[in-house]
Structure 1
Amino acid sequence: MPAESSGSTGPTARPPLTEEQRRRLAEVFGDVLPATTADERDDRDPIAERRADEDLLADRPPHHDRER
């Protein structure tokens, strides 16, 4: 048997947050969303990438060096 509803059909409306409430929420929780996303930032380490490329090239089979 379904539970009876209290008569409310939607979410309750809340008053907008005050500046003090927003400041306190930011202090406690920090930024919910960063200003930029990971794909917009260049967080890669170029030295580590170069080493990885060198390792891959050093491990290639000898027949890859032959010219056709």
Structure 2
Amino acid sequence: MHVSEQPSGRRPESDWERKRRLAEVFGDTLPETTSDERDDADRADRAGREAGNDQWLRAQVPPHHGRTG
């Protein structure tokens, strides 16, 4: 039997059943839209958060590791 085959006596899963089963196993990790479908405001907001995270990370570098300011 191949992975894609259904065991005998079982009906094929509907699309929503398959998605529910996969979400139970892997969680809902994929966004509903791709990055090119999102608004520019979303990108700017995300870029601002990433810049803030980068500043925080740079501030955590100990002086003996060559922190530049």
Q: TM-score, normalised by structure 2?
A: 0.32
TM-score, normalising length: structure 1? 0.33
Determine which structure has the larger helix proportion and give its number: 2
**Greater Rg by CA:** 1
Greater relative CO, 1 or 2 (CA 8 Å, sep 6+):
2
